[in-house]
Each structure stands twice: as structure tokens, then as C-alpha cells.
Amino acid sequence: MSGTELTVLTVRQPWASLLLSGEDWCENRRWHTDHRGPLWIHSSTTVDFAACERLQIDPAPLVTGAILGVLDLVTVLPLADLRAQQAALATRWNLNVTAGARFVQGPYCWIVAQPRRLAQPIRARGALYLWRQRGAPNALSGWTTAPPLLTPNAATATLVPSSVSPPGSPPVAVLGAAIPDALLPSRERATPVPGEMPRRGSPVPR
């Protein structure tokens, strides 16, 4: 596939869709990145069903195994630093503090803003850490508004830490995405971004 080179992060559902709806603006990771700017969100082929249950999100319509959209990675902060800067960041980037602040966990907080969802997801294989894929211009030209996923009750409920399932949670299972193949380019193997492999730790399994 020729075209624009995309920098991509694979995230499990429902977190991928929550990031693109703007309801979650903190992607929790165990590693830092120097990347800033456009960050494309790829939904893993696995779904965090425990999180869907806690947040009262129906997992059936969640698209998996595809690049769903793009947002701007504006800063990366340790959790302790975010606490002091959260109000200023929320004002500057118009973040949804009512819903989003409860998803903050760290240890590294990737703060994202200005989510844009593709009208037609791009089928792709995911990878650990940041990775790259070429996107054809015609596949990147259509946008849609991502509807909110959280109900009023879920938006105010107490949340078990979002990135790590609590003891006794059901195992993560595979959920196939119901996307017409005619809308999706063929799958491609992911290319890791040089220098983005963390020296210690691993991504939060989210």
C-alpha cells in the first residue's frame, strides 16, 4: 500500500473507541514516547469484556482489527506530574474532565486531543508499541463523528482501574469485527517505529 505513512498505536476495545469519542483522553502506558502529533488508533482483535461490563458498553458493534481514526498526542507525563497540570491541559485542549479524568492511571499518561474517526475503518494487523503503516489517500479522506459510548450512569460510576482487569475478571476474548470487506484495504504487516521499543516494562494491556 502506497501513500501517507501513519504512526499507529494498537489499543483494545472499548478503549480505542473511547479515545476516538473524546470520552477518554489519557492512554495509560508503562513506557514513554517522544512522538508528538498525529497518532492513529488501531483496535486490537481482542476486547476487554470486563471493562465493557463495568462501563455498560455493548461490545457487539465495536470494530476490531482495524485503524479507526486519528488523534493528536499532545504530551506524555508521569502520573505525578499530570495531577498538577490536569486543569491547565483540560482547558487548553477542551478535554472532557467529567468522564475522562477517571480513566487516568499511569504510570505514563499519554494525553490526546482532537479525535477524528474514519468513516471507513482500515483493516490492519496490530503490533506492540508504536508502528507504521502506509495509508492510501482515498482511505484517509472520509470522516465521521464518533458517538459517545458512556451512558449517564456509566459516566459517573466508580471505575475499577481501566487498563488492568481486576482479579477474577473474565479472560480477554476474541471478537470478530463486522466490517464489509469491500470497505477495507487488504491487511499489511506492521512496521515498528525505530527507537520506540521501551528499555523496560511493557505496554499496559489495554
Model confidence over 156-174: pLDDT tens digits? 544 433 333 333 333 333 3
In a domain, 61, yes or no: yes
- Give the rounded percent of residues in the chain with a pLDDT score beyond 70: 72
Predicted local confidence at residue 193, as pLDDT: 56
CB atoms within 10 A of CB 58: 9
Higher pLDDT, residue 134 or 117: 117
In a domain, 105, yes or no: yes
| Tens digit of each residue's pLDDT (9 = 90 or more) over 71-120 | 999 999 999 999 889 889 999 999 887 778 889 998 999 999 999 999 99
* Cβ burial, residue 130 (10 Å; 0-12/13-18/19+): buried
Residue-range definition of the domain harbouring residue 173: 4-188
Domain count for the chain, please give it.
1
pLDDT band at 202 (very low <50, low <70, confident <90, very high): very low
CATH number, residue 27:
2.30.130.30
CB atoms within 10 A of CB 78: 12
Q: pTM of the prediction?
A: 0.75
